[in-house]
Amino acid sequence: MTIRMSINDIPIEAEEGQSVLEAARQNGITIPTLCYHKDLSPAGSCRLCVVEVEKWRSQPASCTLPVSEGMVVHTETPAIIRTRRTVLELLLRNYVNNGYSTGSDQVNEFERWVELYNPRLPEGYPPSPRFQINSDPNPVIWVDFNKCILCTRCVRACVEIQGRFVWGVAERGTDLRIVAGADTTMIDARCESCGACVAYCPTGALDNKMSVFSGPAERLVTTTCPYCGVGCQFDLNIKDNHIIRVTSNPNAAVNGMHLCVKGRYGYDFVHHPDRLKTPMVRKYLLDGFPRTDGKGEWIEVDWDTALTIIARKLVEIKQKSGPDSIGVLTSAKCLNEENYLMNKFARQIIRTNNIDHCARL
């Protein structure tokens, strides 16, 4: 059912069940948010997305306000701007940026809205840090709750995206804080180190430990994860021709913002000095002299040479010992389509059913 309403005197059409925030964004109207993310269930807790609705006395949160026929909404009135400035001033009372990640990424969401609405800094700002920096021994996730604004996006991401229930909220009132498990370490709380909490954190309270001091990237390269056949995509952050971090690409068709620990943090092999970058074959295979002991000097060759040797040896073995003397082992690092092609290669070209997959062994 189509709902007719107006936002900032612009007539728009929305779908029944949408929130005012969703309707606004669908029509190119920006409403600031911190606790809201389109992938997560709305919480309505940060109050930065409040709006004015004609004939309403209060300023409701637009992320939890359903659209209704004839609704007239205003998103940037002087009263709304004062409210948002006050919200940011209250959040800044406990927010401490210790400067360790200055320049690591672009301006985060919280800093963006602070710059836009220019709140007054509270008396005594910045406050003394309340928590230890890098407070969790997790090998890949950096934790600094001095930058936490209690938006609970990490809690919801862990539950709704990864399904691990690692993060939770403890205490009440001014002592309210985010904890892992029963106030333990992330690993003891059964964290899988997927980094979903990092990807959804709007302040940098959760960051990537491997790249927290790396500085800004010079360019982004969108690529497909090499670790399994699902086909997740993400952005490689490149600096000086080296990968300094992996960030989620919300436009990825398969996975969106979601990644596993291997996709988000398993990129250091790319620059390992022992990594093979070209095919290598035993020298005797090029010379044409058979060796029964399997030994011989390794030399680098081009792909055409390597594939020609492989094809020749497979033909020789098949002609001498039959197709069932050959077995094919495929890889979980290949795409599903590539494994399908290997299945066709084994059964229709080599004519053997001896094919298996490393993930099953």
> What's the pLDDT tens digit per position in 49-62?
999 999 999 999 99
* pLDDT at 38 (0 to 100): 96
Structure tokens at 88: 């940011």
In single-letter form, the type of residue at position 81 comes to I
CB atoms under 10 Å from CB of 271, counted, come to 10
Q: Pseudo-torsion of CA 202, 113, 94, 42, nearest 10°?
A: -50
Least confident among 53-57, 78-82, 296-300, 352-356: 296-300
| Complete DSSP assignment for 45-100 | -S-TTB-EETT-SS--BTTT-B--TT-EEESS-HHHHHHHHHHHHHHHTT----ST
Where do the structural domains in the chain lie, given as residue ranges? 2-76, 129-271, 280-360
* pLDDT at 107 (0 to 100): 78
Structure tokens at 81: 């701007």
Contacts (Cβ under 8 Å, ≥6 apart) of 302: 278, 279
Residue 358, pLDDT > 50, answer yes
Cβ pair 348, 321 in contact under 8 A: no
Question: In the CATH hierarchy, which top-level class contains the domain 129-271?
Answer: alpha beta
> What's the pLDDT tens digit per position in 183-214?
999 999 999 999 999 999 999 999 999 998 88
CB atoms under 10 Å from CB of 110, counted, come to 24
- Computed over every residue of the chain, the mean pLDDT equals 92
In single-letter form, the type of residue at position 209 comes to K
Contacts (Cβ under 8 Å, ≥6 apart) of 127: 93, 94, 95, 96
In single-letter form, the type of residue at position 149 comes to I
Least confident among 63-67, 266-270, 271-275, 335-339: 335-339
Residue 42, pLDDT > 50, answer yes
Residue with structure tokens 């081009």? Answer: 302
Q: What is the pTM of this model?
A: 0.87
* pLDDT at 183 (0 to 100): 97
> What's the pLDDT tens digit per position in 78-132?
999 999 999 999 999 989 987 665 445 567 899 999 999 999 987 878 888 999 9
> What's the pLDDT tens digit per position in 161-171?
999 999 999 99
* pLDDT at 288 (0 to 100): 67
Residue 294, pLDDT > 70, answer no
* pLDDT at 102 (0 to 100): 44
| Annotation: CATH topology of 2-76 | Ubiquitin-like (UB roll) (3.10.20)
Q: What is the mean pLDDT of residues 19-24?
A: 98
CB atoms under 10 Å from CB of 10, counted, come to 12
* pLDDT at 162 (0 to 100): 96
| Complete DSSP assignment for 182-238 | TTB-TTTTT-----HHHHH-SSSSEEEGGGTTS---SEEEEEE-SSSSS--EEEEEE
> What's the pLDDT tens digit per position in 241-292?
999 999 999 999 999 999 999 999 999 999 999 999 999 998 888 876 666 5
**From its phi and psi, is residue 47 left (phi > 0), alpha (psi between -120 and 50) or beta?**
left
Residue 354, pLDDT > 80, answer yes
